[in-house]
């Protein structure tokens, strides 16, 4: 047993969340709560402070008029699919039980406008976290991710650096890339999913899997790895970090357009995808 006078202060961890708490968020928080640490949650009311007009102008500038229209149509087609997927995830994660757990914890929660807002910066400066964990939300600015004493971590649903950005698991299904399906825990830097890697893994692929099945199993593995990493930090050990860009080609993907949503539907959201059927034949 470690003498009481040798035990240092508990690890101070701040979890960053954008929007309402989802089942994925609460599962992550519940697992983080099991680590010997002092946990604080900073929750943003909205994802971005940009107006719809400003976001539309950015889309047109970034992807052109046709690309912007495709993404807007994709959002229209994808919205009911996302709602159904979220309902399935709530069943898988037992959302009701997680909500009851959350009510009992009394974890300190700070409400801010956005994660990159000055309110967030002020709250985190007061808290002085050892570790920041981006649980959900958009891209963090240096003024936020630099506030951690040891590291700012992110769970990226996709095997970086092979695939960076968003919608990574569905992209792996649509483009037939099994090496994209999985998750990465990495340090946040000024790039998008380009920071040093602490853990990378992928779920077992099987015929009949959907993007929801793969996300569920992937997240379970990733959060368990996150807990192991946080426990190492709490003991005063620095986990090994691998350079993100070490070997291989890195691909960035953003939100899907209409044709990729239709492609995912055509593939039965994974059930008819060659990347999963071929794995079944190989087994």
Query: With contact defined as beta carbons under 8 Å apart, do 129 and 14 qualify?
Result: yes
To which residue do tokens 């986990």 refer?
Answer: 239
Question: CA 258 to CA 106: how far, in whole Å?
Answer: 43
Sequence-distant contacts of 270-275: CB under 8 A, at least 24 apart: 270/173, 270/209, 270/210, 270/211, 270/213, 270/214, 271/207, 271/208, 271/209, 271/210, 273/173, 273/174, 273/176, 274/176, 275/172, 275/173, 275/176, 275/177, 275/178, 275/181, 275/205
Whether the pLDDT of residue 282 is over 70: the answer is no
Binned at pLDDT 50, 70 and 90, residue 5 comes out as very low
The pLDDT of residue 4 is: 39
Contact 182, 197 (CB under 8 A): no
Pair of tokens at residue 240: 């090994």
Q: 245-278 burial, b if ≥16 CB within 10 A, otherwise e?
A: eeeeeebebbbbbbebbbbbeebebbeebebbbe
Q: Write down the mean pLDDT value for the chain.
A: 91
**Within 10 A of 14 (CB to CB), how many other CB atoms are there?**
25
Q: Which residues on neighbouring strands pair with residue 108, listed in sequence order?
A: 40
Domains in the chain (CATH in brackets) are 4-282 (3.40.50.12230)
C-alpha–C-alpha distance, residues 165 and 175, integer Å = 15
Q: What is the mean pLDDT of residues 151-162?
A: 95
Residue range 166-204, pLDDT digits in tens: 999 999 999 999 999 999 999 999 999 999 999 999 999
Query: Which pLDDT does position 3 carry in this prediction?
Result: 41
Question: Which pair of structure tokens corresponds to residue 265?
Answer: 């539907």
Per residue in 127-141, pLDDT tens? 999 999 999 999 999
pTM to 2 decimal places: 0.92
Tokens of 263: 């492609």
pLDDT score at 8: 64
Q: Report the pLDDT value the prediction gives residue 2, as an integer from 0 to 100.
A: 38
SS3 136: coil
Cβ pair 77, 70 in contact under 8 A = no
């Amino acid at each position: 047993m470690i003498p009481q006078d040798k035990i240092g202060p508990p690890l101070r961890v701040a979890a960053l969340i954008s929007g309402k708490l989802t089942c994925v968020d609460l599962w992550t928080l519940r697992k983080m709560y099991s680590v010997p640490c002092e946990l604080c949650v900073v929750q943003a009311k909205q994802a971005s402070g940009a107006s719809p007009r400003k976001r539309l102008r950015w889309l047109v500038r970034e992807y052109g008029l046709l690309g912007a229209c495709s993404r807007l149509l994709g959002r229209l087609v994808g919205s009911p699919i996302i709602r159904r997927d979220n309902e399935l995830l709530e069943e898988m994660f037992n959302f009701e039980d997680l909500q009851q757990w959350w009510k009992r914890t009394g974890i300190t929660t700070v409400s801010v406008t956005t994660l990159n807002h000055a309110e967030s910066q002020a709250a985190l400066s007061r808290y002085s976290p050892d570790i920041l964990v981006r649980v959900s939300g958009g891209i963090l600015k240096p003024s936020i991710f630099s506030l951690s004493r040891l590291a700012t971590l992110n769970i990226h649903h996709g095997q970086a650096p092979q695939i960076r950005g968003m919608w990574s698991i569905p992209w792996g299904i649509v483009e037939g890339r099994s090496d994209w399906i999985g998750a990465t825990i990495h340090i946040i830097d000024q790039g998008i999913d380009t920071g040093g890697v602490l853990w990378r893994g992928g779920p077992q692929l099987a015929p009949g899997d959907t993007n929801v099945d793969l996300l569920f199993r992937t997240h379970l593995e990733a959060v368990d790895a996150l807990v192991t990493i946080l426990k190492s930090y709490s003991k005063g050990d620095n986990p090994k970090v691998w350079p993100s860009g070490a070997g291989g080609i890195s691909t960035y993907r953003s939100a899907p357009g209409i044709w990729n949503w239709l492609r995912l539907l055509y593939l039965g959201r994974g059930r008819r995808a060659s990347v999963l059927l071929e794995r079944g034949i190989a087994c």
